[in-house]
Amino acid sequence: MKPTIVKREPVVDDALDHCATKLTPEQIEKVVNEVIDKETGGRLWTYVNTCIHCGLCAEACQWYLSNDRDVSYAPVTKVKDTIWVMLEKKGKVDAAFIKRCSEIAHTECNVCRRCGMYCPFGIDIAYMMMVVRRICAKLEMVPLYLQDTVHSHAATMNQMWVKPDEWIDTLQWQEEEGQGYVPSARLPLEKEGAEVMYSVIGPEPKFLAQLLGNITAIMKVANIDWTMPATAGWDNSNMAMYSGDFEVMARVERLHYETAQRLKVKKIVMGECGHAFRGAEYDGPTWMGWMRPPIPLIHAISFYYDLIISGRIKIAKKAEGPITVQDPCNVIRNAGLGKKLRYIMNAVCENFVDVTPNDRHNYCCNAGGGVINVGPPWKKKRVQGNRIKAEQFKRTGAHTIVTPCHNCHSGIEDIVNTYKLGMHVKFFSEILIEAMEIPEDLQP
């Protein structure tokens, strides 16, 4: 097989560079074969042996399209340059190879699963990239900032090193902020038997605390019986899933659900995040042996859809358009919430302008899959790798992009800035809080 011609600007990542100097061939061979023999099975072999190397997956990938159809970014190439070699050489590969595997799997693939839709056999190429990530994680070959985030999950059970008192204090502060919209609003902590446990991802208390104030007001207007935990287990995000550290992933997910079980809630409503939905709905439960989440999990898109369609929240003044939207892969392509997203967008926007392609076929934000979490060293490549997303948004002529996902939000802000799109990036709740009707008896 011909070697792939790879042209990349050198990137310094201290963790990868350091790890590459200390890994031994014996370690690598042991881990590669352990993972392939004990953690994969018919699924991997079926995918590897079914692929006819047709390359149709390439046209699905935003990395490939944005880099002028550079074949080194094609999904099939990413497989060829990683897991195929490991299988062919039975794990006898060197540290430089494993380092390149991490660069491919952690920094050049968002495991967004768009390529699987374009494969004539439906091969889940992203699964194979996750196997590569697993091998890299067990060898500690994980980009520095992603690994640091995983360490945060492991030590604090949240993504952002938020300490227990900081979490509770932030909620109490944001309860007061929510009361700015609705004076009688309350953010009930540790309320056993509430209908809903609301969970968020680490960046909300750390950087985007106003979203907690918003939800406090929204819950009051919608008259939802809800609570939030004052303990670890509040963070529904899971970068350990994306580094390949599945033990930490499972511990985080287990605590999330056990917290909901302890509070005896009927369901968990989660904030606007895509990867967190994947981790909490699929990957975490599967590792734990649960067929489905032991407490039903509702993504914010479904929650807002229910509130609006049922009339629990009425829209007083639609946001002025044109406004477009980003379809987060993990809840749209992989969970089918596209129609609900469009319903709520039309409900709150005077002039909603859809993207093309859209819904399940939408392009990934290029930040998901843990790719934004690999941090500043890789940012330039990431933003260059999604030129087509910038072009797509530009065509809408919108002044605002709604992103019901934190990774999409951050990644698209980077694209807006780099490509000078002059657009605002907002979460859906930020539009809703301004558009919803606050009943007279709840008004300040």
Candidate residues 9, 68, 165, 440; the one interacting with another protein per rule CB under 8 A: 165
Q: Is 144 in the site for another protein (CB under 8 A)?
A: yes
Q: Is 168 in the site for another protein (CB under 8 A)?
A: yes
17 binds another protein (CB under 8 A): no
**How big, in percent rounded to 5, are the helix, strand and coil portions of the chain?**
55, 5, 40
Residues in the chain: 444
Nearest approach, Cβ of residue 38 and another protein (Å): 5
Which one among 113, 191, 382, 406 touches another protein, defined by CB under 8 A? 191
Q: Which two tokens stand for residue 357?
A: 């392609």
- Return the number of other C-beta atoms located less than 10 Å from residue 223's C-beta: 12
Element (H, E) at 102: helix 95-102
Treating both helix axes as pointing N-terminal to C-terminal, what angle do 125-138 and 42-50 enclose, rounded to 10 degrees? 120
Residue pair 367/413 in contact (Cβ under 8 Å)? The answer is: no
- The reply to whether 188 sits near another protein by the rule CB under 8 A is yes
CB of 170 to another protein, least distance (A): 11
State the nearest-atom distance from the C-beta of 156 to another protein, in Å.
7
- The C-alpha atoms of residue 120 and residue 100 are separated, in whole angstroms, by 28
Q: Is 147 in the site for another protein (CB under 8 A)?
A: yes
10 Å Cβ neighbour count for 68? 8
Helices 406-418 and 387-396 cross at an angle (nearest 10°) of 80
Give the helix/strand (H/E) hosting 197.
Answer: strand 196-199
Please select the residue that binds another protein; options are 52, 54, 96, 155, rule is CB under 8 A.
155
Amino acid at 185: A
Q: Residue from 230, 315, 438, 442 that binds another protein (CB under 8 A)?
A: 230
User: In one letter, which amino acid is 245?
Assistant: D
Of residues 251, 256, 382, 389, which one binds another protein by CB under 8 A?
251
Instruction: Specify the amino acid at residue 126.
Output: A
Write each residue from 20 to 49 as x if it is in contact with another protein (CB under 8 A), else as -, in one continuous string: ------------------xx----------
| Distance from C-alpha of 224 to C-alpha of 309, rounded to nearest angstrom | 15
Using the rule CB under 8 A, give the single segment among 110-118, 230-238, 333-341, 431-439 that binds another protein: 230-238
Backbone torsions φ then ψ of 375, nearest 5 degrees: 90, -175
Q: Which is nearer to another protein, 15 or 93 (CB)?
A: 15
Name the one range near another protein by CB under 8 A: 191-199, 303-311, 384-392, 394-402: 191-199
15 is a contact residue toward another protein (CB under 8 A): yes
Q: In what order do the strands lie in the sheet with 196-199?
A: 226-227, 196-199, 267-270, 297-299
**Amino acid letter, residue 398:** A
**Rule CB under 8 A: which of 275-294 touch another protein?**
288-292, 294
CA distance 181 to 411: 29
Check residue 416 for interaction with another protein (CB under 8 A). Answer: no
- Candidates 107-115, 156-164, 359-367, 428-436: pick the segment binding another protein (CB under 8 A): 156-164
Nearer to another protein, 266 or 312 (CB): 266
- Contact letters (x/-) for another protein, 120-139, by CB under 8 A? -----------------xx-
Cβ proximity to another protein, 3 vs 42, nearer residue: 42
Contact positions with another protein (CB under 8 A) in 294-323: 294
Q: Which helix (H) or strand (E) holds 44?
A: helix 42-50
Shortest separation between residue 121's beta carbon and another protein, angstroms: 25
Q: List the one residue out of 435, 217, 207 whose CA is nearest residue 308.
A: 435
For another protein, the binding residues (CB under 8 A) are 15, 38-39, 137-138, 140, 144-145, 147-148, 151, 154-157, 163-165, 168-169, 172, 184, 186, 188-193, 230-232, 245, 247, 250-251, 261, 264, 266, 288-292, 294
